[in-house]
Structures are given as structure tokens and as C-alpha cells.
Structure 1
């Protein structure tokens, strides 16, 4: 498997692939483990969705009967006498309420009842008191309230506790009738529902009289914000409904609840043909409609004072609660840090009646997992094949798709699909891989600088450092200009010197020569004793590489003239150098074994360039170039044709030239023009005329080796004239 990956990807790509997969796997592990800080961050994202996209109340059914500051001011502090509570319930039904739920627990007897007051005074003060003209029904306010409860659609609240609660009376709260619909092998609902160890109940006389009771227990999340409410609780093997669910049961007169199970927990609660999606623990995600007072609030004192229009509560469900800060029924929600508990229950009723219930579907973890996997791997593969700056837009697009997909599910389907983990995976993968690419690029730049600093021009190194992708060290076919240079008769010259002097001479000569090559954007290939091989147009493309090679050669000739003055003083002799230049397609790249290789050239055109350097001595020239160089350099130089030749090892003829600057050519114009006439006569088989002109050049010109060569040929051709198909090509038998 690893070997297959190595064949498919480069080393850097494998590193990025491994890092990207590792980041994705780590994020998946975090997703599974749900650490606290990430869970809290996810909750804040949910809160942000709720703040941005919450909708107003969908129904006008719930209404809050508020024990507000006004009521407490007008009617006295809480708790009120139970007869007043009975009046409040009676008036609410008279105004048309179909159900009245109390978010207040009547867990102790009313100490203001006359019968209890009489007993307390006798026990504590040892005085018997009596009440004149007071009907017997008003002696016990709890029984009066109980009598009223039996005749109306009332629901009392109670609370669950995680600890055992000592009580001086029995709890008479009745459990709900719950049917369980579960597939074979599914666990018991009691294993998933919230479980309590104790109950804080209404006193027995009230619990028995009330048609329904519902728990008001809501547990906050880790950040003390209330987002979910359980619809059922498990206690001693029985099921108990929440205040909101019990209120709906009373209002609709439907008492049966169906609990649908899945292999991973609770799936939904069915009630009155309504399917209420819940989490695996039977909790409803509250779709808050807004801050406090999103639903209608009516002061309890106004109800008791009969100030409401007749029928103003017809068909509505009233929740008795308090917004008074002193009564401490205030809770933090995503939309309001001070939200009355009664309005939370009202919101649940509105959610269920409207069907606008937020949920996290069973398939949400799978979708979030796939989004993480897709985001991490897509970012990895993009960064493997493209520069980080190029994929910023695609990464933003992926992030946008994830975000707006999540928003679409939330707004249109009322599903919360969290984008957090996929966002974190996308961002961390991008950041990690970008840093790794930066690190690898820095390593590559240091490697490139170290590998090429001694044989590349600084400008070329700068280009490679700025754009390492442009550097190709693998073998490729490419047009390259090749230059070979060699010191003439170096072996015989070195015999006159000690080894140390030979080393110093080579250093003094090669240092300026190679510096000229790199200054003209050439690449130094190798030293072969006193010979130098260089090339242009690799590893980076070099514009006008033929001309730059030619300019370098001419500069080397000039610099050699300056060096020879020093060499004469230091070593007692001057040196002569021959340079051959040719341009053509070659194979360029790392050549050698797996363990040892060089970045160099191979190909027939490399051999030809070497042969041209060898011909410099034969023709008495310091510089010999091919026709390819002449064709590429145009009219900026004077090219004097030397010969048409077949070099050793090649059948195809090559036209070779030497080169002068235009200023040099102008200074030697007469000699060069005469040479052109002489050579043309030679080509036209006028060997007598050519010989005469070459003899004149030999006497007056500056290049006796070249002119003697042609004189010798002319004499030979006169004695042994060539065949009629003679092509003017001279074949060299040696290098």
C-alpha cells in the first residue's frame, strides 16, 4: 500500500496527505468524545442560529398569568391565601381558558387557613379563638382550592429531585399512561429518560383533586443556559409528564402517550396525532420565540379585579407563574438571561401545537461526520496539488456550502445540523497543511540555495526561491545551450609548475570564468580538470539563452586577456582557451544512480558542443559556435563562417562560425571581406584564385592557422580536384 502511494504521489504530497488525514482523524475523535470546551462552543453556535432565525409565536394559545410586582404590591406578598388562588382559577375558566397550569408548587398546607390558624394560636399561645359568621367551607383554604380543582381543567406543578426528599405526607401525583413502541431488542425507555430519586409534590388533598399534574423540572446545559426540556421523567418505574405535556393532555382531553424507541434511544413522543421529535433522552429542543414577554402577559391582579373583557381567554391555555425577581423563577435562555419559567412552558406548548419543533435528527451525526471527512480530505487534496493562495477561494466556497446548508436545514426543515466540527476540520486542515507547505518550501529553498549557489546565477536562484514549483529536477527533453571551454596544452604547462601552483592557477582561472557564466544566468555543470561545462535554459527557462551564452563567452575572452597579464608575472606564461557553443534539444535532469547523481545533460547535442570546443585549436580560434547559435542571435554580432564539417561520430554536416562584436568586425572589415571572397572562391572550386587570396590573408591577416589551413586545402584540391558532387564539407577523423 505504501509503495503504491509512493508511486502515485511525490514525497511532499505524501507528507501533506498524511498530515491532512491525521488532522481529519483527530477531529473525528474529538467529535466522538465531545470534549467540554467544544461542546460549549457548539452550544453557542446553536444559540447564534436561534438568535438570528427565531420566529415569533406561531399560535396565540398560551398566555402568562403573571404574579408580577403589581400583583404583589396590590394584593400582598406571596404566598397568597389558597382561596385567592381558587378565585384566580375560577375567573380564568370564566374568561374561557381551556386549561390552566400552575408553575407554582403547593407543597405545604396554607398556614393562613382559619382552621390552621386556630390550632396554631391554641398550641403556641394557649388561647382558643373562634370565627363568627364564617362559613365552614372557608375554614380550610386547601380544601376550598381542592374543591375548585375537581371541577375545572387545572394542572398543578411538581418538581423532581436528584436526591431523596423527606416529606411529612405521601405524594399522590398520578403517573401518565404511556405505551412504548419499540423494535425487537430495543432498550427500555427507563434507561434513557431522566431519572429522579425524589419528588416535591403538591399536598395530597390538592394532588388528588387536580385532574393533571406535570413536573416543572428543567435542567440547564453546562453553561447554565436552558435549551432543552424533558417531556417525560422516569421515577420508580413509572412515567410522569412535563407541565407543558400534561397541560396539553388536559386541554385536548387526550390522555394516551406513545413513546417510540429506536436502537439508540428515544426517537419521538406521539400524542393526539402529533409526533414530537426528541433527543435520545426524550428531551425537546425548545424553539424559543424571543425574549421575555414574547407571549401575552396578564397581571394576576387584573384577573382577580375582573378587568378583562368577557371571553378574552376563550380557547387559550393559561400558565400561572411569576416574573417578579424576588420569587426567583427566572432562567437564562439563548435569547434572554432573565426568562420566566412559566413562559418556557408556554413556549413548549406553542412549539407542539404549531408543529415548529427544532430537533437534531438521528442521521445528523452521520451527515456531520461526512461533512468533516469531505472537508478535511478535499482540503488535503487541494493543497497537495495547488498552492495555498490558489485554494483560498475553494475553501471559502466549501465553508459557505457547509454554513448555508446548515442554515437551510435549520430554517426550512427545523433541523439543527451543526457546522462546527466540519468548519474546524476544514480550517485546521487548511492551516496545518499550509504551515507544513511553508515549512517544506523553506526546506526546499535552503536545499535549492545550497545545491545551486555555486553554479547558478543569483538572479536564477532568486527566481527559484520565489517559485520553487518552476524548478524541475526530473529528466525532461528541453532546448539547451551548451558551452564547453578548455585550456590549451594545459598538461604541458602544468609540468612547469608545482602541484600547489597548478591548483592556484586553476583557482585563479576558473573563479572568474564561472562567475561570468553565472552572471549571465548560466548553470555550471562540472569541472573536468581544466575544462568547464556550462549550460543555459535549465533548470529554469532563460529568455534568449543562446545570446546570453555567447555574451558570456565573449566576456570570458576579454577577462582572460586581463588574467594573462597576471599569469605572465606570476607563472611566466599566458594561457589560451578554446570555447565551443551549440544549442539544441537534450535530456536534462538528475542523472546517475539512486544513491549518487548529478543534475546534468545528456544527448547528441552535448557531444556536438564538446566537438566544437575541440575544433577551436584546429581552426586557430578561441570561439567556435554552431549555425543554431548564429540563427538565434540575429544581427547583433558578426559571424564568420569557418567551415562546413562532419565532426567525429556524426554523419550530418554542421556549419561552424567564429564570432566578433560589431566593433571588432568594423575594425577588421578589410580582412573579413577578403576572407569572404577567398572562401567563396574555394566553395566555387576556384582553388587558384582562393589560394592567392588566402596567401594574401596569410601575410596581412591576424589568423595564420585558419589561412594556412585553407592554403593547404587549395594546394591539395589543385593536385587532386574533388568529384563533381563535392559538398564542401570537411570530415574530421579525430575529436
Structure 2
């Protein structure tokens, strides 16, 4: 105790809950800034669809992963939106489905039962759709290859291919029909074609537009076509592999007079015209304001066969692009292949088009939300795809009904079997068995069904708008700081919330964010980031809470290591809130020392197991009493115990609490004394000393060891009083300061006045007897005080008479016996005149 060192180097610098709160909040702020900025940057610099192609650069990988998670939440929101929507009837699907094929197999028309259908038959279905009032028909399929069916030619007839017959039907229908073309990202390998040594001039026209039909005719002849510009006029040439082929081409084009031919040179390759070039010229559109470099770029175009590349038709891309997880959530409105080309969805609107700030505008119709890459995020009109091939549309009609109605019209019956109600509708014609199926947010469906939804969205100006990157950034940063605030609040308001509370907190934040994101998506068609903000909140929350818990754990361990394990829970909580209570300071304390008389001999005589067992039980009993009365156990000194009251937590009745604890300890000891004496073989007596006074208390020690302890005059006095208790034969000896503090509550008797310590100042010693409410059991206490006062006033005979009377009542009381001897000695040998009745302690 005297060797204790006040050690500033080992004092924890965070001495208050307020300062700990500031530090936790500062660290949480740093975590929120770090995580929030990191994830915020990921949502600000969004993934480009081009990043999904090939091997992405390293910095795109976390953004791709984050985007993949975000897409899953988009599906959930899309289904919620679809659940509140009504299936539209402005676009109707006509499916070449199982019902159609089953009926066709049983019909008398063999061409109906063919697979695939002849394109001439497909054209008749398209024509019937227009007859029944549809305003436009999108034919979903592939027309890149020549039809496998060629018509048998009778004698005297001109041969016509299936493609030509299909083209004739489509020409009659004009721009009410939209045919698809495909594209691929890589450049198509040029075919190995026979050498064309001759070029035959087909015609010379004044404009490029007049040249395109001629070029198309050349291509339909299955030969190479060339276009040369000379003097503002345009010449169309056809390649020929032989002179016979040259004459055959001349006859086909009905060329009169002398044929103009020349040899093919390498420089002529630059002037060759392919079907792709025809398509680009016919289908090209302009979208002002749309950054063309951001648009998906096609490496090559797979155009329909030449007979179908007609200026009268609509030509549009029908290829869909999947997200990285294989799900279709958006469709491109344009692709870039030297020029901008439309897709099925954009073909439903009339240009010219203007794009600005994520909105595509046309002269007619509502504006359409389109991102900078030309994609429309679909607004699904159902929460699940229909099972009848209708997708998210209201209706899907079997193509069989159109075939039957066609027969009715051609036969002149004047009545149709089926009322398909196609007037004013847009129709998407789909061969269900020959088309590709895709996964979407609302289930699997055919490509045509997806385009039907896209066309419906485009006509009505519907779609999902993704909020500006700045909005996602600030939402993510805000959620990061929300996580920091929650973490600091949890760690400051609760001691040990547990993992379930953390999970509940994060789930609540996730639920609120998900609800807000869903509501914004459903009511306004706006997509705000959901995953990044939640990850930012969770990451900041866990990181900040981890730091706060580590800080609190270290502080708690430091506190318990300093205070010792014997500390009441309420004291721990108060000290945790304000570690300044542990700072070294001078304050009034009541110090207690106790010792078991006779236990030293027991430790020398008995087996260590017996010694330790009795000592453990004794210390447990005494410590429990000290803690129960608000005291702090400073240390164990073998069979001794040191405790004090008044620190780290101050109470107005610390002195009284110490007295009550001392009485309880003696009472408990006497209850256990018989058992312990039997185990040790010796009579055991508990002696204690107590005193109140100003002392230095706080965390003291070195870097190797630190304790919360006390040092000062009350400590030394209490220690000496405990030793004097054995001399006087009393249970608890207290000093004058403690007596003054507790005399109104407890009963004491005077024992002596002695000089203690180096100062030699006289100290009035008292024995603690009982609470005042139990004073009737100590009726002898008053006569004792009278006799003791007579002794101090040199009335030795009166004192002797009083003590002898008390000795008859308490023959074993050692204090009374001491004063009987002292009085007899004083009467026999009177003390000098300057006698003050003070003895050396």
C-alpha cells in the first residue's frame, strides 16, 4: 500500500462517457466517410453495359458485382409494380403455338402443317392481321437465310421463290409491317465467293435513292453488286463469273443494245454494296443529342435476304441483350452500325427524335425515359408471365384463328369464325416453337412477348427512370452516416445489445430503405440504388460498432483490472459512464481492515487444501457483504481484507454503510465460526479496524500493474486500529472521525485514547456495538461511558466501582477488565498531576 505509485502513464485518457462518445463518433464518421465514398463512387460511376463484354478491367469488377446484386432488388420492385398494374390490350400477341400446329396437322392444307411455315403462308397471316384492323404487325423471326421452300414451277410460268412471294405480300401492306434484322458484336467473316472477273453495267441513275432498288435486284440474282459515282450520277454494276453468266444477267435485267462490261479490279471492292448496306440506308434514323459513342455498337449486321429488304417496310433490330445474370430487364432502342438503327420498340414511334437528360422526345407521343446508351428499362404490366404465351400482355391469339378467318374471307362467306378484336391494335407475330425464350424479372417468356411489352411501353411513354448518379451517391453516403449514428447510439445507450439487436437494427434499416425504394419505383417509376446504401449502412454500422465494442471492452477490462473483480454491477455502470471517477483525487473515505485472529497458526498447521477452502469461503462471505453495502474491496491480504467506502462512487451515508457492513461481517463470521473452527482445529476470531478521513484514491501503479486503491492517513489509522483490536479484545475498533460521522445512527463505546503514527496526535478509540435501534440490548453501554468518563476525570474510585459492577455483568469483557486493572493501579500509585490519560498505541 505504501509502495503504491500514482501512474499517469497508465491512466486511461478517456475519462468520461462524453469523451468516449466523441471518439466513437469520430471513428464512426471516418468509417462512414470511407465506406460511403467507396460505395458511393461505385454507384456514381455506373457499370457500362460494355463492361460486361470480354474480360472487364479490374476496377470494374466490384462495380459489376454490386450491379448484379442491385439487379436482384430491381426484379423484386418490378414484380411489385407489375402487381399493381393492369395488363395492356394495345399490343396483342399472335402465336404460332401448339394449338395452331395441332389444328394445322389435322387440316386439309398441307402447307399449314409444314415446319417451318412457308414464308408465303406467313405473309398471308400478316395480311389477315391487317385485314382485321391491326395498325402494325411486328414479325418476330429470322429471315437471314433463304426460305427452304421453293415453289414448283409449271411450264410457261416465271419461277418465284418463297421469299419473293412473301416480299410481294409485304409490299402490298407497306410500312404497316416491321421485319426484324439481327446483329452481332464481332465482325462477320467474309464468305468465300467465286472470283468475279467481269462487271456488267446494269443502269445509270441520277440519285443514290434510285440506285437502291436496282442494287437489291442485283443481290436477288445471287451475285455481287457495285455502285460507282461519276460526275454526280450513279452507276449500278453486277459481277459475273463467266461470259455465260454475264449474258444471263443481261437477260434478267432486260438490257438492250451493246452490253457494257469491264474487268474487276482490287479498287472496286470499296464500291461493293451488300445487303447490310441496303438495310442501313433504308432503316437509318437520327437521334439528336444521344451520344453515339455510348450506344451499343454492332460489329456486323445480319440483314434479311435481299428480296425482303424493301423500302416500303419497316426494318428494325429484334435482338435482346441479357444482363450479366442472364435476365432481360431492358431493351435497346437503337444500335450503332456506322449509323443509328432502330429496334422494334423505337419503330413504334415516328421521328425525328431528340434525346436530352435521359428523355427521348418525338414530334408525336409522350416522352420516353431512355438512358445514355439508348436503353429503355421495361415497366412490366404484370407480376408474372402468363402461361398462354401472352407474357405480360392481356391477350395472345393462336395464329390458327387467323388462318381460319383468312379462309373465310377468301371464300367470300361474309362471316368469320373468330372475332379477334384487333382493330387499332399493334400485333407481334411470334413462332413460339421456333423462337428463343428469355428470363425476365417476371418469369420466362418468348422474345416476341418481351418486345410486345417494350412496344407498349414505347407507345405510352412508359419506362423506368434510373435516378441521377448524384442521387444514388448521396443516398449511399447518407445511409453510411445513418449506420455510424446507429452504431454510436447502440454502443452508448446499451451495454451489450447482442447480435440479435444488431441484426434487428440492420433489418429495420434494410426494410425502410427497401420500402422507400419500392414505393419510389412503383409510384413514380424511378429506380434508386438499394444495395449500395444498405451495404454502406451495414458496413459502417458493423465497423463502427466493432470499434466501439472494442473500445468499451478495453475500458471495461481496464476498469475491472483496476477495480478488481469484486465490484457491484451498478458501480460498474456508473464508472463506465464516467471514468473520471477513477482519476486520482483526494476525497473523504471510510477505510476498513479485517483480520482473522489465529489463522496464521492454521496456515502453518493444516493442509493447504483446508487453508485455501476456509479462506475462500470466508472471503466470499465478507466480500458479498461489502459489495452489498456499496463498498469497494481494495485487496485481500492473506486472511485479511481491505475495503473502503466513498469511491469510486460517492454516497451520503458511506460511513453508516461501512458500519453496517462491519456488523454484518461479524454476525456472518460468528454464524460460520463453529464450522470453520472444526475444520481448522482452532478458535477463530474476526478483528477489524475502521476510520474515516481524507485520502488519495484512484488508479495507481506502473505500466506493469495498475490498481484502483487508496492511500493516506485513514488507511494507516484503520490498519493500526485493526491491530489494536486484538490488544483490547474488541471486534471492531474505530477512530474518532468515523464515530463523529455515524454516532447518530450507531452505538459505540469508548475504548481508549492513544497516540498513533508518526505525528503522535491522540486518537479517541471506540468500539462499534450496534445500530441505535438495538441499543436496548446494550444497557450496560451507558454505565460503561460513565465509568470511562470518571477514569478520564481522575475519579479513579468512582470509575473502579462502575467497572466492577459492569464486570459482574460481562465477566469476559477484556476492555472492562483492562480498566479495572488500570483503576486499581491508579489508586495504588496515583499518576502525576500532568497525567492526561493518553497511552501510546
Shorter-chain TM range is 0.7 to 0.9
- State which drifts further: 313-322 or 10-19: 10-19
Matches within 5 A, 1:499-510: none
- State which drifts further: 433-442 or 226-235: 433-442
Deviation at 1:209, TM superposition (A): 3.2
Cross-structure match for 1:258: 354
- State which drifts further: 98-107 or 20-29: 20-29
Alpha-carbon distance between aligned partners in 2 of 1:201 and 1:417, rounded to the nearest angstrom? 38
Deviation at 1:685, TM superposition (A): 10
Query: Do the aligned residues in 1 keep the contact of 2:39 with 2:476 (CA within 8 Å)?
Result: no
Query: Do the aligned residues in 1 keep the contact of 2:91 with 2:455 (CA within 8 Å)?
Result: yes
Q: Which of 517, 520, 525 in structure 1 is aligned with 2:634?
A: 525
Alpha-carbon distance between aligned partners in 1 of 2:643 and 2:806, rounded to the nearest angstrom? 35
Q: Which of 297, 302, 311 in structure 1 is aligned with 2:396?
A: 297
Alpha-carbon distance between aligned partners in 2 of 1:709 and 1:244, rounded to the nearest angstrom? 120
Alpha-carbon distance between aligned partners in 2 of 1:5 and 1:564, rounded to the nearest angstrom? 48
The secondary structure found in structure 1 opposite 2:141 is coil
Aligned length: 672
Matches within 5 A, 1:697-712: 697=806, 701=811, 702=813, 703=815, 704-706=817-819
Tell me: CA distance 1:94–1:593, structure 2 relative to 1, closer, same or farther (3 Å).
same
Q: Which of 650, 661, 664 in structure 2 is aligned with 1:548?
A: 661
The secondary structure found in structure 1 opposite 2:345 is helix
Alpha-carbon distance between aligned partners in 2 of 1:624 and 1:650, rounded to the nearest angstrom? 18
Query: Do the aligned residues in 2 keep the contact of 1:580 with 1:613 (CA within 8 Å)?
Result: yes
Tell me: CA distance 1:645–1:28, structure 2 relative to 1, closer, same or farther (3 Å).
farther
Cross-structure match for 1:47: 75
Q: C-alpha offsets along residues 431-472 of structure 1, whole Å, 9 cap, x if unaligned? A: 5666777788888888788777xx755xx5899999995896
Alpha-carbon distance between aligned partners in 1 of 2:326 and 2:360, rounded to the nearest angstrom? 26
Cross-structure match for 1:141: 165
Deviation at 1:158, TM superposition (A): 1.0
Cross-structure match for 1:658: 768
- State which drifts further: 578-587 or 376-385: 578-587
Tell me: CA distance 1:643–1:562, structure 2 relative to 1, closer, same or farther (3 Å).
farther
Q: Which of 242, 263, 269 in structure 1 is aligned with 2:360?
A: 269
Matches within 5 A, 1:25-174: 33-34=61-62, 38-54=66-82, 55-57=84-86, 59-72=88-101, 73-74=103-104, 75-110=112-147, 112=149, 114=151, 117-118=152-153, 129-131=155-157, 140-150=164-174, 152-165=175-188, 170-171=275-276, 172-173=278-279, 174=282
The secondary structure found in structure 2 opposite 1:406 is helix
**Which structure is richer in relative contact order (CA contacts within 8 A, separation 6 or more)?**
2
The secondary structure found in structure 2 opposite 1:398 is helix
Cross-structure match for 1:344: 450
Alpha-carbon distance between aligned partners in 1 of 2:506 and 2:824, rounded to the nearest angstrom? 76
Q: C-alpha offsets along residues 215-256 of structure 1, whole Å, 9 cap, x if unaligned? A: 001111222221111111000x3101111111222xxxxx20
Tell me: CA distance 1:617–1:6, structure 2 relative to 1, closer, same or farther (3 Å).
closer
Deviation at 1:96, TM superposition (A): 2.6
Alpha-carbon distance between aligned partners in 1 of 2:572 and 2:98, rounded to the nearest angstrom? 75
Cross-structure match for 1:589: 698
Cross-structure match for 1:232: 334
Query: Do the aligned residues in 2 keep the contact of 1:580 with 1:610 (CA within 8 Å)?
Result: yes
Query: Do the aligned residues in 2 keep the contact of 1:154 with 1:211 (CA within 8 Å)?
Result: yes
Cross-structure match for 2:345: 244
Alpha-carbon distance between aligned partners in 1 of 2:347 and 2:690, rounded to the nearest angstrom? 99
Tell me: CA distance 1:674–1:109, structure 2 relative to 1, closer, same or farther (3 Å).
closer
Tell me: CA distance 1:355–1:276, structure 2 relative to 1, closer, same or farther (3 Å).
closer
Deviation at 1:674, TM superposition (A): 3.6
Query: Do the aligned residues in 2 keep the contact of 1:138 with 1:144 (CA within 8 Å)?
Result: no
Alpha-carbon distance between aligned partners in 2 of 1:575 and 1:629, rounded to the nearest angstrom? 27
TM-score between both structures, scaled by the size of structure 2: 0.64
Alpha-carbon distance between aligned partners in 2 of 1:650 and 1:60, rounded to the nearest angstrom? 109
The secondary structure found in structure 1 opposite 2:465 is coil
Tell me: CA distance 1:397–1:79, structure 2 relative to 1, closer, same or farther (3 Å).
closer
Q: Confirm or deny that 1:409 pairs with 2:515.
A: no
Alpha-carbon distance between aligned partners in 2 of 1:315 and 1:681, rounded to the nearest angstrom? 127
